[in-house]
Amino acid sequence: MSTYLVTGGAGFIGSHLAEELLRRGHNVRVADSLITGKRSNLDHIPAVDFREGDLANEAFAREVVEGCDYVLHQAAIPSVPRSVKDPIASNRANVDATLNVLVAARDAGVKRLVFAGSSSAYGNTPTLPKSEDMPSNPLSPYALQKVIGEQYLQMFTRLYGLETVSIRYFNVFGPRQDPTSPYSGVISVFATALLENRPAKIYGDGGQTRDFTYVANVVDGVLRACEAPGASGEVINVATGGRISLNELYAEMKKIVGATVDPDYQDGRQGDVRDSQAAIDKAKSILGYQPIVSFEDGLERTIEWYRTTPAAATAANA
Catalytic residues: 142
Asked if 94 touches ligand UD1 (CB under 6 A), the answer is no
Asked if 210 touches ligand UD1 (CB under 6 A), the answer is yes
Our CB check for ligand UD1 shows the closer of 150 and 163 to be 150
Contacting ligand UD1 (CB under 6 A), which of 30, 186, 219, 238?
A: 186
Q: How far is the CB of 78 from ligand UD1 (least distance, A)?
A: 4
Cα 246–chain centre separation? 19
Nearest to 302 by CA among 6, 8, 12, 37: 12
Our CB check for ligand UD1 shows the closer of 85 and 269 to be 269
Contacting ligand UD1 (CB under 6 A), which of 253, 273, 280, 316?
A: 273
For residues 110-139, which are near ligand UD1 according to CB under 6 A?
Answer: 118-120
Contacting ligand UD1 (CB under 6 A), which of 20, 63, 86, 272?
A: 272
Determine whether 170 is exposed, middle or buried from the number of CB atoms within 10 Å of its CB (0-12, 13-18, 19+): buried
Distance CA 98, CA 254 (A): 39
Q: How many residues bind ligand UD1 (CB under 6 A)?
A: 23
Residue, CB closest to ligand UD1: 120
Task: Give the torsion sign (CA, 307, 206, 295, 270).
Answer: negative
Our CB check for ligand UD1 shows the closer of 65 and 202 to be 202
Our CB check for ligand UD1 shows the closer of 108 and 118 to be 118
Torsion of CA 30, 35, 37, 43, to 10 degrees: 70
Asked if 277 touches ligand UD1 (CB under 6 A), the answer is no
Distance CA 162, CA 158 (A): 8
Q: What are phi and psi of 201, to 5 degrees?
A: -85, 140
Stretch that binds ligand UD1, among 52-60, 61-69, 158-166, 200-208 (CB under 6 A): 200-208
- Contact residues for 122 (Cβ-Cβ < 8 A; gap 6+): 130, 134, 136, 137, 273, 276
Asked if 171 touches ligand UD1 (CB under 6 A), the answer is yes
Q: Which residues pair with 237 in a beta bridge?
A: 168
Instruction: Quote the strand ranges of the chain, DSSP E.
Output: 3-7, 27-32, 49-52, 70-73, 112-118, 164-169, 172-173, 201-203, 209-210, 213-214, 234-238, 244-245, 264-266
Asked if 269 touches ligand UD1 (CB under 6 A), the answer is yes
- Residue 34 DSSP SS3: coil
Contacting ligand UD1 (CB under 6 A), which of 246, 279, 283, 312?
A: 246
Contacting ligand UD1 (CB under 6 A), which of 60, 70, 115, 170?
A: 170
Asked if 299 touches ligand UD1 (CB under 6 A), the answer is no
Tell me which residues touch ligand UD1 (CB under 6 A).
78-80, 118-120, 169-171, 185-186, 189, 200-203, 208, 210, 246, 269, 272-273, 276
